[in-house]
Chains A and B, each alone.
Chain A
Amino acid sequence: DARVTQTPRDKVTEMGQEVTMRCQPILGHNTVFWYRQTMMQGLELLAYFRNRAPLDDSGMPKDRFSAEMPDATLATLKIQPSEPRDSAVYFCASGLTTPGGETQYFGPGTRLLVL
């Protein structure tokens, strides 16, 4: 049963530190999404890749967040420097675009706490 994997599952860090979250999409999927979930804002789209190319990162704070796909099996989301307001659960999702549309499959998330 193919699944999206994310590491780490939990991360506690101090304000100002760099945080890197990793995602392995489902083999064969050509799209990767990064979402952030908080109680106040719900689910927010941060970035989107298709065929490893970044197509939409309008939801991401550009000054401190960056997202990359070094290869088809790895997507990364980096926060530098981290701030307490970045505390949230970060989800990666992958999907396959077909003429009929797209279905996204989510990873288990990385729970980030910035002190």
Chain B
Amino acid sequence: GDSVTQMEGPVTLSEEAFLTINCTYTATGYPSLFWYVQYPGEGLQLLLKATKADDKGSNKGFEATYRKETTSFHLEKGSVQVSDSAVYFCALSDHPLNSGAGSYQLTFGKGTKLSVIP
């Protein structure tokens, strides 16, 4: 079945440091890929997405490129801020015919907690 593997956390960075959170996936077909962010005490917010190979999703200074050849969707940001401290989830959504599921259900990674210190 489909699966998502993302780097174990927690990750602690100083403000203005470069961020990379690795994410790789396994899927039968050609899934859509997502990064969601969860701030403390809140729900998941869609951060960015890509729906086909070589697409780059970007939002709020974060970027991720859909790499089919390496089955990866790594999240990057050039200069993190304290306000970026949160848990980041990589996820994929495959067509039901490919996944065998009854829906475009999201398959999530376990999440990576990021702490940015001043």
Contact = CB atoms under 8 A, between A and B. Distances in A.
A55 interface: yes
A33 B95 CA distance: 16
Interface residues of A, number: 25
A33 B105 contact: yes
B51 A101 contact: yes
A11 B49 CA distance: 33
Interface string A68-108: 00000000000000000000000101010100111111111
18 contacts: A4-B43, A31-B103, A42-B108, A42-B110, A45-B106, A48-B102, A56-B103, A93-B44, A95-B104, A101-B95, A102-B32, A103-B32, A104-B93, A105-B46, A106-B43, A106-B44, A108-B42, A108-B43
Interface of A: 4, 31, 33, 42-43, 45, 48, 50, 55-56, 58, 91, 93, 95, 97, 100-109
